[in-house]
Structure 1
Amino acid sequence: MPTPKKGPRLASSPAHERLMLANMATSLFQNGRITTTLPKAKRLRPLAERLITFAKRGDLHSRRRVMRVIRNKSVVHMLFTQIAEMMEQREGGYTRITKIASRHGDNAQMAVIELVTEPLSAKKATVAEAEAATKVAAEKEAEAPVAEATEAPVEAAAEAPAEETAEKAE
């Protein structure tokens, strides 16, 4: 068997690794957090975040793509209704990996991978709101000179016939 390009596999074969990651993702979405080894947590993070992104889309195609990985329909339903709703404001970073003490038996590095359930910080929300307000103000300023330029010739044209009629009256 040729060696994989991305480094050694977590398990004996690619199929076993895929199944193992699918089971860990199912447990993560069911429980909100799982304890596993650090390499497994690092391999699980991109898969879990991709599944949450699909859940945020919410269409039928996304649901079917998630069902390829997670075979439990109740977990998929919970992912699309509850977890996707919690992550609606986030643009990424749905999971957090925290290192914990090594495992006693074989001294393996352990980690907790969990879903980030806290809302976005108020500071980031304020900054985003201020940027949006600045953008709207800049657009209004860009429109104002255009409106003034179109009104000026109309006023000048209106004044010219009035002067001509005044001259004719004299």
Structure 2
Amino acid sequence: MRHKCSRLRLKQKPAHAKMLERNLITSLLLYESIRTTRKRAKVIQPAIDKLISYSKSHDPQIAIRYVNKVVTDKNACRKIMDVYITRYKDRSSGLSRIIPVGVRKGDGAQVVDITLIDADLGVKPKTEEPKKKEKKQAKPKAEKSSAASKDSEKPEAKKKTPAKKKTTSTTKKA
């Protein structure tokens, strides 16, 4: 009986499911946002929270050993220690967010984006700068008068009239 067993499981062999989970966690830590299926995102969401919370509350050496058991890339471990501990020092939980995207065209699976909260993701927020009105600088009067004299010296070009259409007489041959 499955009473009070609330852990989500993936439908692969246990070794494959564990490795898939580790790879998804590593990718999320490195890139701060990944696109995956809904069930996979729900499986890794609590694991991400536990890793970062454990790293915040324990000694760095112990935390590194714990994280390296789960994560497959050392850069992800470094990123937890350098970036995420300082970013989430005030948050205790809810470090990731699942955003539904739609369905996958091939098999109809529900696809979601799982992102870490407060991630920059390379998108700069739009800052509204007040538009500065450029003032037209008045040209000196001497230049205007010299430009006017140059215009008066040039003769105006003759306007061309459109050419007359040639009319041809059409005769019917019998």
TM over 0.5: yes
SS in 1 for 2:103: coil
1:16 maps to what in 2? 16
Structure 1: 5+ residue runs without aligned partners? 119-170
2:74 maps to what in 1? 73
1:113 maps to what in 2? 114
Aligned residue runs from structure 1 range 133-152, under 5 A: none
Q: 1:92 to 1:15 in 2, by over 3 A?
A: same
Q: Which runs of 4+ in 1 moved over 2 A?
A: 5-9
Structure 2: 5+ residue runs without aligned partners? 120-174
Aligned-pair identity in percent equals 30
CA–CA distance in 1 between the matches of 2:20 and 2:66? Answer: 18
> Is the CA contact 2:23–2:72 (under 8 Å) kept in the aligned structure 1?
no
SS in 2 for 1:101: strand
CA RMSD between the two structures: 1.9
Q: Normalized against structure 1, the TM-score is what?
A: 0.62
CA–CA distance in 2 between the matches of 1:11 and 1:76? Answer: 28
Aligned residues: 115
Q: Normalized against structure 2, the TM-score is what?
A: 0.61
**Structure 2: which amino acid aligns with 1:106?**
D
Please state how far the C-alpha of 1:71 moved relative to its aligned partner: 2.6
| 1:52-111 Cα distance to aligned partner (Å, 9 max, x none) | 112212522121111100131121011111011101110110000011110011110111
- Which structure has more helix as a fraction of its residues? 1
CA–CA distance in 2 between the matches of 1:90 and 1:100? Answer: 26
Max radius of gyration: which structure?
2
SS in 1 for 2:30: helix
2:42 maps to what in 1? 42
CA–CA distance in 2 between the matches of 1:58 and 1:32? Answer: 23
